[in-house]
Structure 1
């Protein structure tokens, strides 16, 4: 059963495509530009970079009884495409896909397009999504891309970077048994 139509937003960042790609490929950086509506971030593994890196967070939305969402980087095609797959909703039954597409622009700039799509499992999930979620997602993602542009171009509007829960785990990080 298809979900709500995909929602796309885009912006142009005045940075080279490789730099934007490297920043987006580290999922720990995503909290910096999405923390206005995605909160309580936690990494799902120690390595936050590349395919397999993931995070769990809450979606701030009025009336959302099941706010937790998980995403994992499933595909990375250097330097043009990053695909995140995940789940959200009651019992994590709603599948999600987020795609960052990067294209080089004039003067060393990069066009970043983010497309998000959901696949609700039940008719009730689809009905709840139809009650204004599409517009909210488009507005929030547009703001996130503006913040991404601001962070990469001049370091402004930096939020907090995600870390792994529980503190140090590696022997070289002064963890004591």
Structure 2
């Protein structure tokens, strides 16, 4: 699937946003409208190596389980790498890029890529669905960080 990109401007310092994103237990707060049944893959949910497992609510998807692990965490970038689909054979990557913007704002860009190995996997991918859900998750992230509202639950090792 071609990469899906969404951008939002958040009135918070870049370091604060990077710290929030580097804790994968926070991710269900803004992604739980399309990713459900979250579980941590290790006890420590912060920093490089922290990971989660979840189920995608993609319509007509029999093999909706996926996971990702943080592989790079800096004040400028947070990178997630994972797998999804049948037998976890599809590689995925999410990249959060944080840049300072005028007026004390931070430009937050999220880029999601998925690489289906087989024709059936590539046919299952719905770029439009991912684009809509990604854009909504960034709007929710903005409202959480700026106004402290729309907060969902934090994920734990054994689920919620």
User: By how many angstroms is 1:62 displaced?
Assistant: 1.4
**For the pair shown, which has the larger CA radius of gyration, 1 or 2?**
1
Look up the SS of the partner of 1:51 in the other structure: coil
Contact 2:69 2:82 in 1 (8 A): yes
> Could you tell me which residue of structure 2 aligns to residue 121 of structure 1?
117
Change (3 A) 1:94 1:152: same
Please list every run of 5 or more consecutive structure 1 residues that lacks an aligned counterpart in the other structure: 168-177
Whether 2:23 is the aligned partner of 1:26: answer: yes
Structure 1 stretches of at least 4 aligned residues deviating more than 2 Å after TM superposition: none
Q: What residue in structure 1 maps to residue 87 of structure 2?
A: 91
Given candidates 33, 41, 45, the residue that maps to 2:42 is: 45
CA contact (8 A) 2:93 2:114 kept: yes
3-state DSSP of counterpart to 2:58: coil
Name the TM-score, length of structure 1 as normaliser: 0.88
Q: How many residues align?
A: 160
Counterpart Cα distance in 2 of 1:66 and 1:60: 10
Query: When the two structures are superposed, what TM-score results if normalisation uses the length of structure 2?
Result: 0.97
Q: CA RMSD in A?
A: 1.2
Summarize the alignment of residues 55-94 of structure 1 with structure 2, pairs less than 5 Å apart.
Answer: 55-76=52-73, 78-94=74-90
